[in-house]
Structure formats: C-alpha cells, structure tokens
Amino acid sequence: MLGGYFEYYFGYIWILVPGLILGFWAQMKVKSTYAKYSRVENKRGITGAQTAKYILEGYGIDIPVERIGGTLTDHYDPSSRVLRLSSGVYDGTDVAALGVAAHEVGHAIQHNRGYAPLSIRNGFYPLCAIGDQFGPYLVLIGIMIGGAGSFSYYIMMAGIILFAFAVFFSLVTLPVEFDASNRAIKILDKGGFLDQEELDGAKKVLSAAALTYVAAAVSAILTLLRLLMLAQRRRD
C-alpha cells in the first residue's frame, strides 16, 4: 500500500521536466561563462575585494568584506551586515571576479537604501524557508492519510499554501538580483573599474548567473502547479 501512496505522489512528475532542463542548462551556462571570463584579467589589476571596498567606501557603507571558502559562494549577509567573497573573487583580478564582487556590493547598497523587494524578501525569508522544507511533506502526509475525505485534502492544501511562500520568495528574488546586477554594471562603468570590452564580459557573467534564479522560479512555479493538481485529484 505504501508503494501506492508514492505512486500517487509521483503523479504528474512530467510537469517538472521543463524546470529541470532549464535549471541544468542555467548551471552549465553560469559555470562556463564564469570559467571563460575568470581567465580575462582586468587592465587595472585590482582584485574583487579591492573593488568591493572602493565601491562601499564611495557609497559611505562601512561593512567588512570577508573571504570565504568555496566557488561562487559569494553573498551579502543582511543580518550581520557582512559582504563575503569566495577566494577566487576576493583575490581575483579577472573580469568575472570584479563583476561578482560588484554584484554583491549591489545587495549591500540595496540594504543600505531600503530597497523594497529586498526588504520584503528578507522579511518573509523565515516563513518561505519553512514552506520550502515542510510544504511538500504535508502534501505527502495528506496522500498517505488516504481516502477522498476533506481532512486529507485540507492537509494537502495546508502544505500547498506553505509551499506558495517559497514560490513567492523565488519570484521576489528576481527583481532583487536583476537590480543588483544593473547597479554593478553601472558602477563598474562609471567608476572606470573596467573598460568597455571588459564590461561586456562582466555583463555576460552576471546575465548567466541571473538565469539560475529564473530557473529556480520556474521550477518552483511548476512544483506548485503539480501539488495543486495532486490536491485536485484527491478532492475528486
């Protein structure tokens, strides 16, 4: 009988395929683009960390810039107000490093200026994390309860509502990331950090990175749609 429950749960699995394909392609795109432009040195010879510090100082933002391990693990932590750059970006003097560093500084500028989508995303993050982790499990519990009664359906709908917050998080992340990249390119251009040819490379790196967020949003929407279809099937 347990096998029947899982067979039911994996129904409509085909609807997730486009998101999986898009996600795989986006990951390959960002890795190849980053690898390409991590071999192109900027003519000024400055590092990602120096770039980040120069920009932060220019905007009057006094936060530390720290080195962390990993690759493409760069992020701005709004809770502790710290900018963390992976070793390759922190010490890198390549076009990719400067683009990524400036992008993360863009998030710090957003936070400093009260950029609304970032504030909304940060405020809803705890609930979104809970929805992403537990929403699908509630749907599975509703399936395992069995029967076509309203109780199992309501359990499933509770899980779907929770997961909807995760979808919301993915969607509100898009303007946050796009805006940070736009800020980064403008700053790198106006500040003279990169010449036009180098700037084109930085744009390609950040555009490729943006695809991963688009893929995540598409996958989240498709997952939500599938869960709704499962719930409808339970109600029927």
Catalytic residues: 104
The alpha carbon of 91 is separated from its chain's Cα centroid by a whole number of angstroms, namely 24
- How far apart are alpha carbons 31 and 72 in whole angstroms? 9
Amino acid letter, residue 45: G
- How far apart are alpha carbons 104 and 188 in whole angstroms? 13
Contact 16, 223 (CB under 8 A): yes
Q: What angle do CA 128, 107, 215 make, to 5 degrees?
A: 50
Distance set, CA 208 to CA 42, 66, 129, 203 (Å): 19, 24, 25, 8
